[in-house]
């Protein structure tokens, strides 16, 4: 079971990364201005952050417990607490920019939100890759 959870955690993390790169590229290319592309960005946000995020957190907690890491392991705590800004950016910047009309302020918020989410995921990847056993 721990091996299956490790694969789930790892490959779901890669999937979230790929989806966020796609979201970043779509937002950067002005995807917030077209209705169809906004819908695709909304689906990417839902699948990666709202659905994939909690699953990966649960798998990570299971691995944290099954691998007998100390509760205060700094890099695990840092990766865990980096998820809160990910949710906040999605809720405060990306979602409102997708729901409102195609104003220049909304598209800049969308690009900034997509960039921040990608940077946060890269930071989590860096922590996990550099310190994982």
Distances (CA, A) of 14 to 8, 46, 52, 78, 92: 10, 16, 11, 19, 24
Query: Read out DSSP for the chain?
Result: -HHHHHHHHHHHHHHHHHHHHHHHHHHHTTGGGSHHHHHHHHHHHIIIIIIIHHHHHHHHHHHHHHTT--TT-HHHHHHHHTHHHHHHHIIIIIHHHHHS---HHHHHHHHHHHHHHHHHHHHHHHHHHHH--
The average pLDDT across 91-120 equals 84
Q: How would you label 13-42 residue by residue, b for 16+ Cβ within 10 Å and e otherwise?
A: beebbebbebbbebbeeebbeeeebbeebe
pLDDT number for residue 132:
67
Q: pTM here?
A: 0.88
pLDDT value, residue 116: 96
Share of the chain above pLDDT 70, in %: 94
The residue ranges of every structural domain in the chain are 2-131
pLDDT at 121: 94
């Amino acid at each position: 079971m721990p091996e299956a959870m490790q694969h789930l955690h790892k490959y779901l993390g890669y999937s979230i990364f790929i989806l966020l790169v796609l979201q970043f590229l779509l937002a950067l290319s002005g995807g917030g201005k077209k209705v169809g592309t906004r819908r695709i960005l909304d689906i990417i946000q839902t699948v990666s952050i709202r659905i994939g995020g909690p699953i990966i957190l649960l798998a990570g907690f299971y691995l944290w417990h099954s691998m007998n890491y100390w509760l205060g392991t700094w890099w695990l705590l840092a990766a865990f607490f980096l998820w809160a800004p990910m949710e906040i950016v999605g809720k405060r910047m990306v979602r409102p920019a997708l729901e409102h009309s195609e104003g220049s302020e909304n598209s800049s918020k969308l690009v900034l939100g997509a960039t921040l989410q990608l940077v946060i995921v890269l930071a989590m990847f860096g922590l996990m890759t550099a310190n994982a056993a």
